[in-house]
Amino acid sequence: MNIKAINNVYFIGIGGIGMSALARYFVAKGKHVAGYDKTPSDITKALQELGVYIHFTDDIIAIDPKYLNKENTLVVYTPAIPKSHSELNYFLMNNFEVHKRSKVLGEITKQTTCLAVAGTHGKTTTTSILGHLLYECDIPVTAFLGGISENYDSNLILKGTEVTVVEADEFDRSFLTLSPDLACITSMDADHLDIYGDSSELAKTFKEFSECIKPEGQLFIKNGLPLEGTTYGIEDNSDYNAKNVRIENGSYVFDLQTPTELYKDFRFNLPGRHNLSNATIALAMAVDFGCPHNQLAKALASYKGVKRRFTYQIKTNDFVFVDDYAHHPEEINAVHQAVREMYPNTKVLAIFQPHLYSRTRDFIEEFAQSLSKFDEIILLDIYPARELPIEGVTSEWLLEKIQNSNKKLVSKPELIQAIKMSDAQVVLTLGAGDIGEEVKHIKDAFSIAN
């Protein structure tokens, strides 16, 4: 794959968060970029504003003819695209250069100093913190993010091409295409069992990823994970750890102990110990890379977060509305910890849309346990994404498992009225499906009321 020689890049599934970051990168590189996606979204609209032509019908006729020249066109697709997709099959049958997103990302990073962030949780926030730290330390960095950064209003941070920061995605074993100089693993909780079968196979693949690091490179691991590497943690005996942690004016303030010295007085504005952990590893990697303390402290204090990661939609003395991407039991537990820490003795309503039938089935007990901790729970129907229904796997089944009598299942048209019937002072929307599209409606309804 000779990316420099390619003029045209065509994306199948261009509206995906990882795909759209690549599309933005190629636009910045002066390539002609176009693509297909199933439905319009804020992401596709933003790409169209950059001049990217996008269509929403799987039809060869809809493709601009210049992308049908196999000599100078690269076709990129996401594994979420079904094998029956007619455009994908056309390019494959006609011997175009066709690659998964992960392969192309691996090729881009190959000629750079690559810092990769892996783990079943925390990838996007950690990657965005690390990208921001390096950007503010004047490193010539390109960071590919799995979410929209609040600081840059983009999933691509672009200040140069000598250094890359990437999410190392375990889905479909995509991260095995990378060969990073520095890498971290934030967590290895069971997930994507539709791909891996069981947690031991997932753990084995993370071990394989650790072996992809360049011989002179370094692996950072969350303290307690069953791998060899430089450890990080919070107020423990890790090689890098956050010490003297306190909360001041709604923010964490802490010191960073490294193997050689103590860096004092970092301020971090995101709530939750899971986010503090993400900040700790991002700082550890930036320190190892050579960034100076004073610039890092200033950069971390200016970090605003990632959209749909504990994002405040409404924040008044009387009412708080937070939206979060949490779609795994451990992520829901992390949100619960954060909201209880920030709003003790306050009634909390959690609205959750399960994501994937298989994930709901595989973690039904864990989902029920994590959701039961909130004061009130509203469930939406399962968002299927790439899957067909599985018999017996429904939101009704999950609702029955939740050990909390203050629970209900509602449809989207009923949602705002259901929230209005609650006396909760903190409302959370949780999930990775299209629940994000309800956020604006909720915000509009309750901004007026508050």
- List the one residue out of 251, 234, 252 whose CA is nearest residue 243: 234
Could you give the CA distance from residue 380 to residue 389 in angstroms, rounded to a whole number?
15
135 has pLDDT over 50: yes
288 has pLDDT over 60: yes
Are residues 280 and 134 located together in one domain of the fold?
A: yes
Are residues 274 and 346 located together in one domain of the fold?
A: no
Are residues 121 and 178 located together in one domain of the fold?
A: yes
Whether 107 is in a domain gets the answer: no
Give the residue with greater pLDDT, 67 vs 102. 67
pLDDT of residue 379: 98
Are residues 94 and 121 located together in one domain of the fold?
A: no
CATH number at residue 89: 3.40.50.720
Are residues 371 and 443 located together in one domain of the fold?
A: yes
Are residues 342 and 422 located together in one domain of the fold?
A: yes
Tokens of 13: 């599934």
pLDDT of residue 233: 97
Whether 270 is in a domain gets the answer: yes
The percent of residues in the chain predicted with pLDDT above 90, rounded, is 79
- List the one residue out of 268, 260, 270 whose CA is nearest residue 296: 268
Which domain-ending residue is among 276, 301, 326?
A: 301
Could you give the CA distance from residue 415 to residue 362 in angstroms, rounded to a whole number?
27
Are residues 244 and 319 located together in one domain of the fold?
A: no
266 has pLDDT over 80: yes
Are residues 258 and 282 located together in one domain of the fold?
A: yes
Q: Which of 105-119, 132-146, 170-184, 306-320 has the lowest mean pLDDT?
A: 170-184
Could you give the CA distance from residue 139 to residue 162 in angstroms, rounded to a whole number?
8
Which of the four pLDDT bands, split at 50, 70 and 90, describes residue 192? very low
118 has pLDDT over 60: yes
pLDDT of residue 171: 67
> The whole model's pTM is what?
0.84
pLDDT of residue 4: 83
CATH number at residue 445: 3.90.190.20
Q: Which phi and psi (to 5°) does residue 59 adopt?
A: -155, 120
Which domain-ending residue is among 301, 335, 369?
A: 301
Total domain count for the chain? 3
Are residues 424 and 320 located together in one domain of the fold?
A: yes
Whether 440 is in a domain gets the answer: yes
Whether 237 is in a domain gets the answer: yes
Whether 306 is in a domain gets the answer: no
Q: Which domain holds residue 245?
A: 112-301
Residue 341, CA atoms < 13 Å, CB-side half-sphere:
20
pLDDT tens-place string over residues 360-388: 999 999 999 999 999 999 999 999 987 89
- List the one residue out of 209, 210, 193 whose CA is nearest residue 201: 193
Whether 151 is in a domain gets the answer: yes
Whether 369 is in a domain gets the answer: yes
Are residues 269 and 407 located together in one domain of the fold?
A: no
Are residues 234 and 120 located together in one domain of the fold?
A: yes
Q: Considering the chain, what is the average pLDDT of its residues?
A: 93
Q: Which phi and psi (to 5°) does residue 100 adopt?
A: -65, 155
pLDDT of residue 450: 53
Whether 106 is in a domain gets the answer: no
Are residues 248 and 368 located together in one domain of the fold?
A: no
CA-based max dimension of the chain: 64
